[in-house]
Chain A
Amino acid sequence: MVLVIVALGALYALPNIYGEDPAVQISGKRGVAADVTVFDTVKSNLDSQNIAYSKAELENGQILVRFNSYESQQLARDVLTKALTDEYSVALNLTPATPEWLANLGGVPMKLGLDLSGGVHFLMEVDMKTAMGRAQENMIGSFRNDLRGEKIRYRSVKEAGDGVKVVFRSLDDLIAGQKLLERTNQGMLFAENEDDLSLVVTMSEAKLKETAEYALQQNITIIRNRVNELGVAEPLVQRQGAKHIVVELPGVQDTARAKEILGATATLQFHMVDQEHDVMDAVNGRVPPGSFLVKDQDGRPYLLKKRIMLRGEHIVGAASSADEFQRPQVNIDLDSKGGSLFSNATKDNIGKPMATVFIESKATGAKNPDGSLKFTQEQEIISVATIQARLGSSFRITGQPTPAAAHNLALLLRAGALIAPIAIVEERTVGPSLGAENVELGLQAILWGFAGVLIFMTVYYRKFGLVANLALAANLVLIVGTMSLIPGATLTLPGMAGIVLTVGMAVDANVLIFERIREEIREGKSIQQAIHQGYDAAYSTIIDANITTLIAAIILFAVGTGPIKGFAVTLSIGILTSMFTSIIGTRSVVNAIWGGKKIDKLSI
């Protein structure tokens, strides 16, 4: 049994020895799959540029080309990015060089953390305040619609604190209104006041949670899309707690671009230009109610009507191209709801100017009193155009100064519009040179520590020491094998430190057992009895001691993040495997060597 488990561990630890090949991964964006034609294009391009590759495969709509050197990998990326259209992303990748038979058995190498592989780690915070504000706005809108639809008369629908206050015309209206709103709005709390005929509606705890959850999930989805735009192989986008999102991009070097795309949230709003009032009056402080002032890219002020004709969340697609005069333009596609909304809004305004307002949310770095981040909204008019015809679900915006600007705008719009803005609150970038160095240093520390313990055990316990060493080696193999098998386990630098520590502490169980055997021999027991007693007496001590260490490791895992989690993982796995190898493992070896024989002197 012991042999089988150790052999299995060794089998799954094996892929780590083969290492990884530099590779280039080509995948389609937005549902486009790479097919045989693309595959041929890739191969012919590499051949014509004399870039040697070791293997090229087409699988699940993705193309993977392996290279022998990092230089040809870089070269190939540049060549292929040029050769392929915008629909495909070309990403640098490291692919396990595991032989096929082993890969078929599910053998994969350990996943390396960012501190070992190099890359960027971001922690992003979602601005829940804005999310709640949006939800409040939606409530106001839908209440008005509902009440109007049922012809219930109200004086006003306004925001009040965290909720919405509706003031009715009469008591009958109040009763009918409350009945209606309670039916149409689940999960809200209603507080009516018959004296001033008002009804205050607030979100219940569950509803608040649901709204926050939705804002977080939407952000995660959108960040995933944006990360895909970046063309990174094996990115990680994961929620952490109530309002944080972790983004890990292995191998990304150009962090500036990554941050620009991830950190800025952009949305478009379409407003009619207010032509009834004078812009200069507004600039001088007399802004008419129902309108607001925005500047365009050149700093010219415009007076716009507050009513939003369309919000960015209905945008499903945006692409940059050139119009018939070779000027940059952005083509925008809307979903069906957005299309009908926009069609209604534009049909009465043909011939009038409409402004496209670009709104970008950025974290200022300052904080609110409650500790959350402050965000500012920067509004800018990117185009004012006369509506030429009734606009449907597909239209275009012109007026971008350069093709690059149009491209960037399209990219941001395509990634969707966020309910709540996000900001990067933590960043850890590790360069590839440091990553490789860390692997080297970690390995060295493990080897030196391992060697030191091996020598000591052999000198101190002689043959029994060798048995313990065997267990220790098996333990290392098992840790690596288990780490490779568990999908979520990632090896980090502190994780390597955890392995080093395990190596030192794993012999403890054997030391306990061996010391006990020596004691029993001193007390005059027979050899066989001493071995038996030694294992039995030490057993419960070892279990107790290890379980308490395991408690500390599990707590570390529960509260720790990133690298610390890595440490907790290797420590926990190490504790479990070391209990197995040093109790059951050594026992079976000891039994095989010394068991059932009459021995006068023990080499311990």
Chain B
Amino acid sequence: MQILNLKNTVAFMSIRKPMMIMSLLFIIGSIASMAVNKMNWGLDFTGGTLIEVGFSQPADLTQVRGVLEEGGYDDAVVQLFGSSEDVLIRLGQRENMKAEMLGNDILAKLEAGTGQAIDMRRIEFVGANVGDELTEQGGLAMLTALICILVYVAFRFEWRFALGSVIALAHDVFLTLGLFSILGLEFDLTVLAAILAVIGYSLNDTIVVSDRIRENFRRIRKGDSEEIINISLTQTLSRTMITSFTTFVVLLALFLKGGALIHGFATALLFGIIIGTYSSIYIASSVALALGISKEDLIPEVIEKEGADQDELRM
């Protein structure tokens, strides 16, 4: 079976300018939203206490709020989580109280106040400076990843490709962050992991395309850079779509079946895969083209190619 059977080369690059402008607008929009709406940072980054409890019957949120207010927790944010029996309670940092005792105190008060047996499902407490450290570490991780990738791709291909793929990755990261900011979704550690996975995935795509461009530059004698990039994109398009599709299928399974705890993770990945597929076609190649990639840049590497592969394997 075959879905895409393209006889002719698709002129991807002919609309690269409008696409670049569109992406630029999206990035500006994301940054604007992050500035205006801010990110909805999760507990991991802000610090505080989070308690998930399970009631035996559908929970009465007003009653829960009342009980907590009486108990002196007027800053508590109470919401349902996953099902009507599960309730999530969030509390901010507390100066005067021993924060680690909070969870048990609330559980006791809720049991007394509602008269129901309550199942403790999870308690998370994160100290404020731990959150700061995590934010720092997370940003650092993202930067390190981008730099390492830049170096690797520059070493294996050519600096124009490297820059193109890293700009494409940064594009993916910004747009995913923007989506979380616009929709007000909670950004926690798992989402950060998802974004790093998106970086890995999007790069995977970009490498496959770049690899084909390099091969075609060496193989096809006639035609200018733009034409060769178009040919390469057309040739890899069917693979790009299929892999994106299978990945999309498993992520959909994760999103629908994986439970509320990894919803944010699955959302970030689902969105990131779509953006990543688009960016590997339009951003990475367009940037390389705009930077003036040409046949001459890639020809001398032919001799090195085999040896370079061997080195990589030995690692």
Interface residues of A, Cβ cutoff 8 Å to B: 115, 123, 125, 253, 255-256, 259, 263, 362-367, 371-373, 423-431, 433-434, 437-438, 441-442, 444-446, 448-450, 452-453, 456-457, 459-462, 493-494, 496-497, 500-501, 503-505, 507-508, 511-512, 515, 518-519, 537, 539-541, 543-553, 555-556, 558-560, 563-564, 567-568, 571
Assess whether B31 is interfacial by the CB under 8 Å rule: no
Chain B residues positioned under 8 Å from A427 (CB to CB):
100, 103, 123-126
Q: Give A555's nearest chain B residue, CB to CB.
A: B145
Of B199, B201, B253, which is within 8 A of A505 by CB?
B201
> Is B84 positioned at the interface, with any CB of A under 8 Å from its CB?
no
Say yes or no for B309: interface residue by CB 8 A criterion. Answer: yes
Q: Is B77 an interface residue (CB 8 A)?
A: no
Stretch of B58-66, B175-183, B243-251, B289-297 at the chain-chain interface = B243-251
Contact (Cβ within 8 A) B253 A500:
yes
Could you tell me if B243 and A507 are in contact, using CB atoms closer than 8 angstroms? yes
Q: What would be 19 A-B contacts, judged by CB atoms less than 8 Å apart?
A: A365-B93, A371-B129, A424-B100, A426-B127, A427-B123, A427-B124, A445-B257, A456-B246, A494-B265, A501-B197, A505-B204, A507-B246, A508-B247, A543-B313, A545-B211, A548-B152, A551-B149, A552-B197, A571-B197
- Check if B130 is an interface residue, CB within 8 A of chain A: yes
**B207 interfacial contact with A, CB 8 Å:** yes
Known: A366-B95, A511-B243, A559-B141. A259 touches B100 (CB 8 A): yes
Which of A497, A519, A558 is within 8 Å of B235, CB to CB? A519
CA separation between A358 and B204, bound complex, in Å?
Answer: 61
A460-B1, A505-B247, A564-B190 are contacts. A441–B123 as well, Cβ < 8 Å? no
Bound complex: CA A367 to CA B127 (Å): 10
* A255–B257 alpha-carbon span in the complex (Å): 30
Report the separation of the CA atoms of residues A505 and B203 in the bound assembly, to the nearest whole angstrom.
Answer: 12
Contacts of B305 in A (CB 8 A): 540
Determine whether the beta carbon of A255 is less than 8 Å from that of B103: yes
Closest to B50 in A: A428
Instruction: Tell me if B303 counts as interface (CB < 8 A to partner A).
Output: no
Q: Given the complex of chains A and B, what is the CA–CA distance between A81 and B124 in angstroms?
A: 30
B99 contacts chain A at the CB level, 8 A cutoff: yes
Q: Which of A123, A367, A444, A460 makes the CB contact (< 8 A) with B257?
A: A444
Partner of B250, one of A501, A537, A541: A501
User: Please, which residues of chain A bring their CB within 8 A of the CB of B152?
Assistant: 547-548, 551
Chain B residues within an 8 Å CB radius of A448? 253, 256-257
Residue of A nearest to B148 (CB): A551
Contacts of A494 in B (CB 8 A): 190, 193, 262, 265
Tell me which of B8-16, B17-25, B114-122, B220-228 binds A: B114-122
Q: What separation, in Å, do the CA atoms of A125 and B127 have in the docked complex?
A: 10
Which residue of the partner chain B has the closest CB to A427? B125
Q: Is A512 touching B208 in the complex (CB atoms < 8 A)?
A: yes
Q: Report the Cα distance A435→B132, complex, angstroms.
A: 28
Q: Within the complex, which residue of A253, A366, A504 is in contact with B246, where a contact is CB–CB below 8 Å?
A: A504
Contact B121 A441 (CB under 8 A): no
Q: Is the CB of B254 within 8 A of A555?
A: no
Inter-chain contacts of A568 with B (CB < 8 A): 193
The 8 closest A-B pairs by CB, nearest first: A449-B250, A425-B127, A504-B250, A552-B200, A504-B247, A448-B253, A441-B259, A449-B253
Nearest CB in chain B: distance from A249 CB, A: 13
Bound-state Cα–Cα, A456 to B253, Å? 14
CB distance from A490 to the nearest CB of B (A): 15
A551 to B145, alpha carbons, bound, how many Å?
A: 7
B216 to nearest A CB, angstroms?
12
B149 touches A515 (CB 8 A): no
Q: How far is the CA of A592 from the CA of B141 in the complex (A)?
A: 44
A519 and B232 alpha carbons, distance in the complex (Å): 12
Chain A residues with CB below 8 A from B204, complex form? 505, 508, 545-546, 548-549
Q: Taking CB as reference atom, which chain B residue is nearest A263?
A: B100
Contact B249 A456 (CB under 8 A): yes
Assess the B144–A555 pair: CB atoms within 8 A.
yes
Q: Verify B101–A256 contact, CB threshold 8 A.
A: yes
Contact B123 A449 (CB under 8 A): no
B138-152 Cβ-contact flags toward A at 8 Å (1 or 0): 101100110011001
Report the minimum CB–CB distance from B63 to chain A (whole Å).
21
Nearest residue in B to A519 (C-beta to C-beta)? B235
- CB contact list, B66-105 vs A, under 8 A: 93-101, 103-104
Assess the B201–A549 pair: CB atoms within 8 A: yes
> Are the CB atoms of B103 and A501 closer together than 8 Å?
no
Could you tell me which B residues sit within 8 Å of A by CB distance?
Answer: 1-3, 52, 54, 93-101, 103-104, 119-130, 132, 137-138, 140-141, 144-145, 148-149, 152-153, 156, 189-190, 192-193, 196-197, 199-201, 203-204, 207-208, 211-212, 215, 235-236, 238-239, 242-243, 245-254, 256-259, 261-262, 265-266, 269, 305, 309, 312-313, 315
Majority DSSP secondary structure for residues of B touching A: helix
Taking CB as reference atom, which chain B residue is nearest A502? Answer: B250
Tell me the complex Cα distance, A503–B132, Å.
34
CA of A559 to CA of B121, assembled, Å: 27
Q: B190, A441: Cβ atoms under 8 Å?
A: no
Nearest neighbor of A114 in chain B, beta-carbon distance? B122
Docked CA distance A350–B150 (Å): 76
Are B238 and A515 in touch, CB under 8 angstroms? yes
Closest to A571 in B: B197
| List of A residues within 8 angstroms of B196 by Cβ | 552, 555-556
The answer to whether A555 touches B122 (Cβ under 8 A) is: no
Inter-subunit contact B249/A504 (CB<8 Å):
yes
Closest B residue to A429 using CB positions: B123
**Which of B215, B252, B254 is in CB contact (< 8 Å) with A497?**
B254
Give Cα A508 to B127, complex, Å.
41
What residue of chain A has the Cβ atom nearest to residue B309's Cβ?
Answer: A540
Instruction: Tell me whether A545 and B250 are in contact in the complex, defined as CB-CB below 8 angstroms, given that A365-B98, A497-B265, A552-B197 are known contacts.
Output: no
Q: How far is the CA of A558 from the CA of B140 in the complex (A)?
A: 11
CB neighbours (8 Å) of B100 from chain A are 259, 263, 424, 427
Report the separation of the CA atoms of residues A503 and B88 in the bound assembly, to the nearest whole angstrom: 32
Distance in Å: Cβ of B54 to nearest Cβ of chain A? 7
Q: Which residues of A contact B248 (CB under 8 A)?
A: 504
Bound-state Cα–Cα, A444 to B93, Å: 36
Assembled-state Cα–Cα distance A371/B127 (Å)? 11
B146 CB to closest chain A CB, in angstroms? 9
Q: Are B262 and A434 in contact (CB under 8 A)?
A: no
- Residues of A near B258 (CB, < 8 A) are 441-442, 444-445, 496-497, 500
Contact B98–A362 (Cβ < 8 Å): yes
Q: Hey, which chain A residues are within 8 Å of B250, CB to CB?
A: 449-450, 452-453, 500-501, 503-504
Residues of chain B with a CB closer than 8 A to A559's CB: 137-138, 140-141, 144
Chain A residue at minimum C-beta to C-beta distance from B238? A515
Instruction: Give the residues in chain A near B315, CB-CB below 8 Å.
Output: 547
| Chain B residues closer than 8 Å to A259, beta-carbon distance | 100-101
Q: Are the CB atoms of A564 and B189 closer together than 8 Å?
A: yes
Q: Which residues of B contact A555 (CB under 8 A)?
A: 141, 144-145, 148, 196
Pick the contact of B121 from A430, A547, A550 — CB < 8 Å? A430
Q: Of residues A372, A504, A551, which shows the largest number of chain B Cβ atoms within 10 Å of its Cβ?
A: A504
Q: When the two chains form their complex, are residues A426 and B125 in contact, meaning their CB atoms are under 8 A apart?
A: yes
Instruction: Out of B99, B122, B127, name the residue touching A429 (CB < 8 Å).
Output: B122
Question: Which residues of B sit under 8 angstroms from A255, Cβ to Cβ?
Answer: 103-104, 123
With a CB–CB cut-off of 8 A, which chain B residues contact A431? 54, 119-122
Taking CB atoms, residues of chain B closer than 8 Å to A541 are 207-208, 211-212
Q: Which residue of A lies closest to B239 (CB)?
A: A515
Q: Give the nearest-CB partner of B105 in chain A.
A: A256
In Å, the complex CA distance between A457 and B137 comes to 39
Residue of B nearest to A556 (CB): B196
Structural contact, B1 and A459, CB atoms closer than 8 A: yes
* From A256, A433, A504, contact of B104 by CB (8 A): A256
Question: Within the complex, what minimum Cβ distance (angstroms) separates B176 from chain A?
Answer: 14
**A548 to B, closest residue via Cβ:** B203
Asked if A552 and B145 make an inter-chain contact with CB atoms under 8 angstroms apart, the answer reads yes
- Residues on A with C-beta less than 8 A from B189 are 560, 563-564
| Cα–Cα, bound, A261→B206 (Å) | 53
A450 to chain B, nearest CB (A): 8
Cα A556 to Cα B138 with chains together (Å) = 9
